[in-house]
Structure 1
Amino acid sequence: MNLKRIHHVAIICSDYERSKHFYVNVLGLEVIHEHYRKERNSYKLDLKVNEYDQIELFSFENPPKRLSYPEACGLRHLAFEVENIEEAIAHLHKHDIEVEPIRMDPITGKRFTFFADPDGLPIELYET
């Protein structure tokens, strides 16, 4: 097997319009394709992060809550690389999004922080 890279990350949201606004208008991801699946009464929104990476945003009627704790088994968080963490935090603050204090990665010496999407999914900003 020769895995080249991660193609996409799929996220199920509880409120499609609210999450679409967050990922498109707040985070600035570009819409590749939006498709309404009538048979499921659900949307699938493909979002472009950069020239390689994508996020798939799904809506389903009454999706069950996923209990998540910092050290629970499974996907821990979604991380985005940024050049200037202060600028990214200032942008989030303009949209009234709470951001944790900046931390330092003890191994790489790089700065990072966390905030949450509308459903509480932890998102990391990692400064390069």
Structure 2
Amino acid sequence: MATMKLSPCANVHTCRAKTAGVVRASYSAFRLISRPNVNPIGKRLQQLSASTATPLPSLAPPATSSADAVDASGKLTFHGVHHVALICKELERSLEFYQGVLGMEINPDRPHHKLPYRGAWLWIGPEMIHLMELPNPDPAENSKRPEHGGRDRHFCVGMASLDALAEKLDKAGITYTRSMSGRPAIFFRDPDANCLECVELAPWR
């Protein structure tokens, strides 16, 4: 293997002078590269470094705009029904109906201690019913409401089996009517005359 032969300095002073010259030249080159406003080569190196560097992920929340609230045609974007609010006279009586008869479960993540009235949130599929113990501005007696709930204010929910529901309503002594249009649907009222419609169909979400 060939080896590089280094020529010795003539004396110590000569070696020191050569070393100092190399250091000064290196420092001058570094200053030119690190000052892009003076040296175009340094400017180009900084541009290349910036273009090839991997950007850090942003921790800021994604930017939103009013355009996100409308679709391509300019219509408002709705996601679905979040909950239905029902007025009740006695919360415990309503919970006995919705939990005891219909088997709905309370959503514990929606506490009521921040509201100025008693109430409860009940799961009904992916949505909720909000029971509110408040004075009812509507007649709360079935005799003062339309006999068929389909002709009164009501909300409709889909379910797997009307036969199973009818069996529970019959066992609890709750009156109900079937849809007059022939659809597989049942209308009935809670203890405060709020009307529910249940229709038998396959899941649509």
**The TM-score by the shorter chain falls in which range?**
0.7 to 0.9
- Cα offset, 1:69, TM superposition: 5.1
Cα distance, 1:64–1:48 mapped onto 2, change above 3 Å? closer
Larger Rg: 2
Query: d(CA) in 2 for partners of 1:65 and 1:93?
Result: 29
Size of the alignment, in residue pairs?
115
**Pick aligned residue for 2:181 from 95, 105, 109:** 105
Greater share of helix: 2
TM-score normalized with structure 1 length = 0.77
Query: Higher strand proportion, which one?
Result: 1
- Look up the match of 2:56: none
Amino acid aligned to 1:58: M
Residue aligning to 1:18 = 93
CA distance in 1 between partners of 2:105 and 2:192 (Å): 20
- Structure 2 length as normaliser, TM-score? 0.50
CA deviations over 1:6-31 (Å, ceiling 9, x no partner): 10001110111101111111111110
- Give the unaligned 5+ runs of structure 1: none
Q: How does 1:1-128 map to 2 (within 5 A)?
A: 1-33=76-108, 34-36=111-113, 40=116, 42-50=117-125, 52-60=126-134, 63-67=135-139, 76-100=153-177, 102-103=178-179, 105=181, 110-128=183-201
Structure 2 portions without partners, runs of 5+ = 1-75, 147-151
The share of aligned pairs that are identical, in percent, is 30
Give RMSD over aligned pairs: 2.2
Q: With CA pairs under 8 Å and 6+ residues apart, which has the higher RCO, 1 or 2?
A: 1
